[in-house]
């Protein structure tokens, strides 16, 4: 069950609607702080690296850095964004299956984070371009998990990490290459709500322990679904890290920010084909998760009416998949009435698409007293400013 937004936050959104163009994202900072405190409490003694892909707004990163969190990143751009938010290189972990040479060379200039090597080739390239770097080696635990297939990164047929049988040899090779091999990284997947998935990972690591013994770091990644209670998961994770003699690191993204954010959209038409639609100014380019992962975001109307009906909620794209929710019972709206899509604080604004020349939605955070701009609403002309209108040659 999802947590309804706080009543004063909803009132503040109504007020913001008078000034901010829709669609936009709105965040309740008190809820964010509550989630962060819950994870910090459960994982006291571990290092928490916030997965900035979930929501990379600078003002958010600055806030989380001040709260003592590190940053988990997957691209040069994300590392530089974390540095722009004030993070030092040793507070940043760089993941991802592909780290092109040009990106590694840029890191040599701007600061070398902790790198997670994803394959033997990645390890060799890191050693060549960033000699002596601090490295974790990603394990592919070869486990099925209970989530959308696009989010199941720990399956043996996914492209991530090194399989358990190969892992000790590749780790030893990293030492031969002169890298500072600090430990093991494992990320099962995202949006995991079944505790059995987390438990299965422990068995794989326990088997591996016989072959690797001591590690300085055990990074167990993110993936904590919103239904998971961190206090229930933490003790087993700490116990496992202790068995390796390792410090525990984790990389939550969604669990910290999803519930703090809503997408705000307006209804511009009601329409009947063989199904009954409300047509909104937000669709797949503002919130991609329903199309990409079949994600369900609860919907709350910001208007009232005596009659209700069951609607599909479609966006402005010429794509029949541009539907944010199906079969939602709502009061019958008038033109311009607004809706909230809940649990949109993670992988919402972050995944905005410029497809169809839709500029990025504005993003605003509410601290209980006032709104702060996290991202100004995008403007149209800059969307094509990198496109020559005269012949130009590389
Ligand atoms: C390596 C890694 N760490 C952490 C995360 C964060 O996952 P979540 O937002 O589900 O916690 C991801 C997301 O896919 C990831 O790939």
What is this structure's pTM?
0.97
Distance 54 CA to ligand 1 centre (A): 8
Kindly report, as residue ranges, where domains of CATH 3.20.20.10 are found in the chain.
56-252
Which tokens go with 319?
Answer: 């794509």
Give the distance between the most distant pair of CA atoms in the chain: 73
Give the percent of the chain with pLDDT over 90: 89
Reported CATH class of domain 7-26+258-376: mainly beta
* Mean predicted confidence (pLDDT) in 276-291: 98
Quick check: 64 and 365 in contact, CB under 8 A? no
Q: What mean pLDDT is predicted for residues 246-266?
A: 98
Sign of torsion over alpha carbons 59, 116, 39, 194: positive
Q: Where are the alpha helices (DSSP H) in the chain?
A: 7-16, 29-42, 58-66, 76-84, 101-110, 120-129, 167-176, 195-212, 230-244, 254-257, 289-293
CB neighbours of residue 206 within 10 Å: 12
DSSP characters over 248-274: EEE--SHHHHGGGEEEEEEEEEEEESS
Inter-helix orientation angle 230-244/29-42, to 10°: 40
Ligand 1 pocket test target in 190, 219, 237 with most atoms within 8 Å of CB:
190
163-195 confidence digits (pLDDT tens): 999 999 999 999 999 999 999 999 998 889 988
Give the position of tokens 């993941």: 95
> Is residue 380 within 8 Å of 359, Cβ to Cβ?
yes
- Cβ 390 vs Cβ 311: under 8 Å: no
Give exposure, 29-44, as e/b (b: 16+ Cβ within 10 Å): bebbeebbeebbebbe
What is the overall mean pLDDT for the chain?
Answer: 95
Domain range 56-252, CATH class: alpha beta
pLDDT confidence of residue 329: 98
Give the whole-angstrom CA distance, residue 97 versus residue 117.
Answer: 8
What is the whole-number distance in angstroms between the Cα of residue 51 and the centre of ligand 1? Answer: 6
**In this structure, which residue's CA is closest to atom 4 in ligand 1?**
222
Which residues of the chain are in CATH 2.40.37.10 domains?
A: 7-26+258-376
Residue 170 tokens read as: 């590749």
Q: What is the pLDDT of residues 199-241, one digit of tens each?
A: 888 889 988 998 887 899 999 999 999 999 999 999 999 999 9
Mean pLDDT over 336-356 rounds to: 98
The radius of gyration of the chain from alpha carbons, rounded to an integer in Å, stands at 22
Position in ligand 1 atom list of the atom nearest CA 192:
10
Q: How far is the CA of 329 from the centre of ligand 1 (A)?
A: 33
| Region 335-345 average pLDDT | 98
Q: What is the distance between the alpha carbons of residues 195 and 232, in angstroms, rounded to a whole number? A: 9
Q: Which residues contact 77 (CB under 8 A, 6 or more apart)?
A: none
Q: State the pLDDT confidence band at 315, using cuts at 50, 70 and 90.
A: very high
Cα(284)–Cα(286) distance, rounded to whole angstroms?
Answer: 5
CB of 223 sitting under 6 A from ligand 1: yes
Out of 46-60, 133-147, 317-331, 335-349, least confident range: 133-147
Distances, alpha carbon 90 to alpha carbons 59, 70, 87, 136, 156, in Å: 20, 9, 8, 13, 30
């Amino acid at each position: 069950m999802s947590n309804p937004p706080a009543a004063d936050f909803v009132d503040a959104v109504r007020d913001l609607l008078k000034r901010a163009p829709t669609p936009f994202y709105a965040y309740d900072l008190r809820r964010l702080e509550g989630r962060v405190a819950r994870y910090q409490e459960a994982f006291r003694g571990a290092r928490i690296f916030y997965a900035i892909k979930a929501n990379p707004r600078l003002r958010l990163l600055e806030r989380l850095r001040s709260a003592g969190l590190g940053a988990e990143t997957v691209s040069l751009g994300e590392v530089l964004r974390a540095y722009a938010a004030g993070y030092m290189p040793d507070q940043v972990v760089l993941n991802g299956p592909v780290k092109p040479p040009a990106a590694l060379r840029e890191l040599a200039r701007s600061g070398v984070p902790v790198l997670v090597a994803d394959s033997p080739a990645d390890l060799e390239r890191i050693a060549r371009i960033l000699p002596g770097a601090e490295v974790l080696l990603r394990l592919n635990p070869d486990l099925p998990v209970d989530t959308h297939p696009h989010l199941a990164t720990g399956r043996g047929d996914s492209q991530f990490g090194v399989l358990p049988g190969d892992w000790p040899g590749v780790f030893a090779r990293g030492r031969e290459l002169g890298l500072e091999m600090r430990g093991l990284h494992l990320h099962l997947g995202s949006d995991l709500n079944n505790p059995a998935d987390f438990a299965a990972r422990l068995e794989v690591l326990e088997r591996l322990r016989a072959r690797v013994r001591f590690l300085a770091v055990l990074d167990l990644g993110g993936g904590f679904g919103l239904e998971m209670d961190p206090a229930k998961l933490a003790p087993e994770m700490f116990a496992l890290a202790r068995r390796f003699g390792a410090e525990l690191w984790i990389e939550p993204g969604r669990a910290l920010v999803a519930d703090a954010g809503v997408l705000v959209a307006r209804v511009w038409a009601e329409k009947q084909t063989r199904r009954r639609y409300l047509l909104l100014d937000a669709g797949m380019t503002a919130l991609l998760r329903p199309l990409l992962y079949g994600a369900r975001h609860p919907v709350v109307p910001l208007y009232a009416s005596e009659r209700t009906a069951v609607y599909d909620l479609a966006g402005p794209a010429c794509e029949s998949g541009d539907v944010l929710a199906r079969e939602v019972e709502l009061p019958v709206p008038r033109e311009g009435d607004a809706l909230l899509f809940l649990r949109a604080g993670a992988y919402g604004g972050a995944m905005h698409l410029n497809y169809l020349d839709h500029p990025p939605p504005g993003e605003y955070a509410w601290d209980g007293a006032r709104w702060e701009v996290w991202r100004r609403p995008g403007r149209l002309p800059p969307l094509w400013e990198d496109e020559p209108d005269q012949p130009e040659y590389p």
